Amino acid sequence: MKTIHLIFNAHLDPIWLWPWQAGLDESLATCRSACDRLDKHPDLFFSQGEAWVHAQIERCDPGLFARIKAHVASGRWEIVNGWWTQPDCNQPSGFALERQIACGKEYFTSRYGVFPKIGYNIDSFGHAATLPGYMRAAGQDCYVMMRPQEHEMKLPARVFRWRGFEGGPEVTTFRIASAYAAWGTISLDHLRASLTELPDGLDHTMAFVGVGDHGGGATEEQIAWCRANVDAIPGAKLVMSSPARFFAAIAKQIPSLPLVTGELQQHAIGCYTVHRPVKIALRRAEHLLRQAEMAGAPAADLADAWQRVAFHHFHDTLGGTCIPSAYRQVEDQIGHIATTADEALQYGVRAQMAKLPGDTAPRVILVNASDRPFSGYLEIEPWLEGDWRQGFGVIDEQGKPVAIQRMQSECLAWGPLRIVLRAEIPAGGMRVLRLIKPGPALPTVEALPHAIITNDRGCSIDPFGANARLTVGGVTLAPEFALIDDRSDTWSHDHDRYGEHAVDTARWEDQPFVERGPLMSRVIRRGTIGASALEAEWMLYTGEESFELRLRVHWRERQRLLKLVLPLPAAASIWHAGIPGATLARPTDGRELPVRDLVQAELATGGPLGISCPDVYAADVTPKRVRLTLLRAPIMAHHVPHHGIAARSTVADQGTHDFRFRFALGASAALQALDDRALAWHRPPVNADLTRGMISRYG
């Protein structure tokens, strides 16, 4: 006899096809309805547990909060998940996912004295391989998910042990069949689906019922139906239950469950890249908060900001599927997070600077508010007045000269001079550079209309022709840009990859701007692709065996996507991608998959090819090429089978987008080197001017 555990729940989307205010109202209405059902039916259980929902109820309706607290204490309202919300489980930074869990854990332990052992992300669009480790570190050993579904990823059973890596922590995982809710009348087919794909000898399963979002959870009709159909399925019985009761019932059989290693992918591949502004803004906010912490900001000052980050991790928000008007408010709120973090960071740096003694020379202070050392080039604009602008030198703490190169400043009128210099700064450390005069004149930079740029490490960039050619060690790379038709909906439902055929490629102006200097050389080209404009700035640095690209795209497409395509100099059978908090090896099967910060291909010739790409969120790799997905242009909040044609539809991601890339081969393409480069871009050293101790030239 099989036991079907009926899980009455209500999946709540705080932002999706409505703004957050409607999500607030649905949370209040649904939880009030759930309490009413629990009051009336003493054998009923209800499962719900995102901290954001409970925090809103605590703030807006203390009476309802007290009712929920009583039901939690009785064991009939089961807190599941316990995270701040149900996040996108691919795109947050690893440390931010840890904060997602920590924010929820702090809330539930302080309010209810409990934190669930069950993670519960039933609507998230795939699950990173690092999640089992994060859950086990927080005290969770079970997990409930639904996507990818059976047609998207083959698993050995509905219930299995999941670990991200060989030898890593495991969580007992249940994949929901059919759906995580039941709108209207429950069907026997919905319940029968839960009996499929069970491991041999397992006599328990879960079927999820109840109405989500604005529906109110369990309904009287559904409760009555369940009572009337307890024995309606031959060989099975229905019981009112909860996830904790299910996992307790199978506890003795867990060691014999099949073992799955790796990520759980893929679903809704369009969500990896659509609505890029929210992805860029939230990633920046995450790193600013870490920098603020490194600069000494008290945890209490940043607690609200971390909760807001966790809120906007929500899978529809970060996944880019919400209505456009909702995103205006999301972006306002993320701006508030970034402002809070940046102010804490800047004030923390100034507090450190206040401890320095005075000096008669102007100083440039560099603070590496990061948990990794910084080693690389920086562009800074020190404040200069009077004859300081005519020529100056820079020396370090030991009085040794620091090589500098003048660059064009951001300002095209009178203003600061921009210089580039190389710095080594320990994790959490500070460098104090002094400006001296008269000093040597600033190095001259020659601009040439036609030239191939090179550096001292044997790297060269030939900007002429259809694509720039990057050469090092006898190997030439030729990145391309491809415009591809994309008629899929916002999510790219039922796709596991995008097409290969390019409807257009980049066309470049004949006269690139070439600039060569002692520390850095660059080539700037402008071009077009489709209806969009491109500005590519290729750069080489002295002492570095890599190629940097700064790309600006003025995106004006509709139902197309833009890929950066890199043909490989040798075949690749494995590629590595950054994922939240780690890297993961994947087969070169051409599927579109999420990435964090880096891509590396293992070449048959023995060495790796790597790309640091902190502004890219998805890629696909075959044995012959790497493709980074830069931009999509679907209709926003468009879900098939709707045809997507409407008088007032909004096309995603129109406007200007900036990208940074670092291409490397061999040792420079090691995973750690690629990750360090991306992190240095996310957390650049803070620079500040210090003039305390100088004698004013004005008297």
Least Cα distance to 164 among 204, 137, 191, 189 occurs for 137
Per the model's pLDDT, the better-predicted residue between 392 and 659 turns out to be 659
195-199, 640-644, 687-691: which has the minimum mean pLDDT? Answer: 640-644
Identify the residue with better confidence: 695 or 190: 190
Q: What is the pLDDT of residues 589-627, one digit of tens each?
A: 999 999 999 999 999 998 999 999 999 999 999 999 999
The model carries a pTM of: 0.97
Model confidence at 396: pLDDT above 90: yes
Dig out the tokens for 161 from the structure: 């042990």
Indicate if the pLDDT at residue 284 is higher than 80: yes
CA distances to 72, 242, 265, 431 from 113, rounded to whole Å, are 10, 19, 34, 46
Contact 245, 208 (CB under 8 A): no
Question: What was the pLDDT predicted at 450?
Answer: 72
Q: Which two tokens stand for residue 458?
A: 């044997």
- The reported pLDDT for the residue numbered 22 is 97
Cβ partners under 8 Å of residue 159, min gap 6: 172, 173, 174, 175, 198, 199, 202, 205, 250, 257
Residue 391, pLDDT above cutoff 90: no
Pick from 63-72, 149-158, 402-411, 542-551: least confident: 402-411
pLDDT exceeds cutoff 70 at 54? yes
Average pLDDT over residues 533-539: 98
pLDDT of residue 411: 85
Tell whether omega for the bond before 654 is within 30 degrees of 0, i.e. cis. Answer: no
Phi, psi of 59 (to 5 degrees): -80, -40
CATH number of 446-682: 2.70.98.30
Return d(Cα 439, Cα 398) in angstroms, integer.
16
List, for residues 427-475, the tens digit of each pLDDT value: 999 999 999 987 766 666 777 767 899 999 999 999 888 899 999 999 9
Q: What is the mean pLDDT of residues 185-190?
A: 95
- pLDDT for residue 409: 85
Which pLDDT tens digit goes with each residue over 68-125? 999 999 999 999 999 999 999 999 999 999 999 999 999 999 999 999 999 999 999 9
How far apart are alpha carbons 538 and 542 in whole angstroms? 14
What mean pLDDT comes out for the span 48-66? 98
Number of H helices, E strands in the chain: 13, 38
Rounded Cα distance between 65 and 75, Å, is 15
628: closest CA among 637, 636, 638, 620? Answer: 620
For the segment 364-369, the average pLDDT, to the nearest whole number, is: 99
Label residue 699 by pLDDT band (50, 70, 90): low
- CA–CA distance, 391 with 689 (Å, rounded to integer): 17
Vertex 75, ends 72 and 81: CA angle to 5°? 65
Over residues 565-587, the pLDDT tens digits come to 999 999 999 999 999 999 999 99
CA 582 to chain centroid: 13
In this prediction, what percent of the chain has a pLDDT beyond 70? Answer: 99
What's the pLDDT at 443? 67
**For residue 451, what pLDDT is reported?**
80
Q: How far apart are alpha carbons 15 and 596 in whole angstroms?
A: 24
CATH number 1.10.490.10 is the correct assignment for the domain at 363-444:
no
Architecture of the domain spanning 2-270 = Alpha-Beta Barrel (3.20)
Give yes or no for residue 351 having a pLDDT over 70: yes
Environment class of residue 185 by beta-carbon count within 10 Å: exposed (0-12), middle (13-18) or buried (19+)?
exposed
Do 2-270 and 446-682 show the same overall fold?
no
The Cα 244–Cα 222 span in angstroms is: 22
Using 50, 70 and 90 to split pLDDT, how confident is the model at 510? confident
Q: Mean of the per-residue pLDDT values for the chain?
A: 96
607 or 171: which leads in pLDDT? 171
Q: Does residue 639 surpass a pLDDT of 90?
A: yes
Return the pLDDT at 606: 84
Domain extent listing, the chain: 2-270, 363-444, 446-682
Task: Say what the pLDDT of residue 400 is.
Answer: 96
Residue 354 pLDDT greater than 90, yes or no: yes
C-alpha to C-alpha distances, 59 to 52, 63, 65, 227, nearest whole angstrom: 11, 10, 9, 36
SS3 state at 560: strand
